[in-house]
Amino acid sequence: MRFTILDDWLRWQETLHPRAIDLSLERVRTVLRRLQPEPPGQTIITVGGTNGKGSCVAFLDAMLRTAGYRVGAYTSPHLLRYNERIRINGIEAADAALCQVFDRIDAVRGEVSLTYFEFGTLAALELFREAGVEVAVLEVGLGGRLDAVNIMDADAALVVSVALDHTDWLGSNRDSIGYEKAGIYRPDRPAVCADPDPPPRLIQYAEDISARLLRVNRDYHFARTGSTWCWQSSACCLDHLPLPTLAGNHQLGNAAAALMTLTSLGDRLPVSPEAICAGLVSAELSGRHQIIPGPVEWILDVAHNPHAATVLADHLRARPCTGRTWAMIGLLADKDAPGVIEALTDTIDAWCAITLDGNRGRTGDELVALLRATGARAEAADIQEACRIIQTTACPGDRIVVLGSFHTVAPVLAIQPWLSNSPLPPSREA
């Protein structure tokens, strides 16, 4: 075995391929054929889209597991542990299992070079085969058409939303991005689209390959009815559904899309109304409108593009606090920082801008300049200093929003500054 420690494997994978992102299917498909000469026979559900993918995977995973199916879920990126990416029946893959499967992949790949994400995708598929999962729910990493996850032919595919993000790889407009995301659809198979305004090229692609396109507000509908909600399609009608425990009004749209996806597979994956209801209230997802209550409320949200920031802003307006709203924001350099800031400007009273390191990082000073240009109150700080500043300044009734990237939310989750017994991070002078 090349390495026996998971972190060593991951560091090596980051350096193996000359490019961190290399949208291509041939290399990863070649290695998969060597690992799995025969398809494992599980039902495949692929979930793509700009925002909302993780929530839809969480709903699908919870509802299917509650219905008694053995489910594998593959998501990215992770927040605190790489193991979060691969779960079998809700349990994260163990370090030892990941090391063993990485070793098998390394042994069969030969001279084929793989990216970090491709290694992880192959590991998930192999661990799911070993575990005999009945359903694999796979989240697209980037785009769809050329994403490593797309080596699997989805029995049903869901595109949650189409918005501007990753424009360097996917194109500069919604139409081109929609085309890339529609690449997960397959001929004569359910192709769910939860975007209420799907780009023409997405619709055209689905029609060209004769996919069974199922659109929100046309093929399925949903509405809140007080403390419950209802959902209907031509196949069935569900009333008095419990509201999802995942926070935010937008989660109804994500839950409705997950229901349409399940319903489209009802002949091979029947799920009872009871399992649906239980799954809606048991689905969990860290870092997406995650609310930590207390005298000072914390809201953790990895929103990193204008569309996601607009959803976050709507959520903040719908749940006003009695005091001030503070924000800790860190954004990668390839994200639309002015668009994110504009979406949130009227909901935030003061900002702490965080530097994100690495090749794609953006400095806190850059963000401060953009924020102050809008008239906002802002200062730059590292994450530990920002936690210290806000903890010592915020008053009961205030709330603190952490947003902009997994790289911003993850270290705050690790520190857990909202715990009364959690010591403040040391100052930089200490």
335-365 pLDDT tens trace: 999 999 999 999 999 999 999 987 788 999 9
What is the structure's pLDDT at 179?
Answer: 94
Tell me the two tokens of residue 50. Answer: 């700009």
Global confidence as pTM: 0.88
What is the structure's pLDDT at 213?
Answer: 98
Buried b (16+ CB within 10 A) or exposed e, 184-195: bbbeebbbbbbb
pLDDT band (50, 70, 90) for residue 169: low
Q: What residue ranges define each of the domains in the chain, with the CATH number in brackets?
A: 6-282 (3.40.1190.10), 290-415 (3.90.190.20)
Q: Which of 238, 206, 233, 237 is nearest to 217 (CA)?
A: 233
In this predicted structure, the answer to whether residue 425 has a pLDDT above a threshold of 60 is no
The 10s digit of each residue's pLDDT in 248-293 is: 788 999 999 999 999 999 999 999 999 999 999 999 988 888 999 9
* Helices and strands in the chain, H and E counts: 15, 17
Residues ≥6 apart with Cβ < 8 Å to 59: 244, 246, 254, 255, 258, 279, 280, 283
Hey, CA dihedral for 251, 257, 260, 261, is it positive or negative?
negative
Q: Which backbone phi and psi does 13 adopt, to 5 degrees?
A: -60, -35
Average pLDDT (143-148) is: 89
What is the structure's pLDDT at 281?
Answer: 95
In this predicted structure, the answer to whether residue 94 has a pLDDT above a threshold of 50 is yes
Residues 69, 275: Cα–Cα separation, whole Å: 11
- Secondary structure class of 311 (helix, strand, coil): helix
What is the structure's pLDDT at 429?
Answer: 33
Residues 5, 122: Cα–Cα separation, whole Å: 18
Rounded-to-10 torsion of CA 362, 365, 368, 369: -100
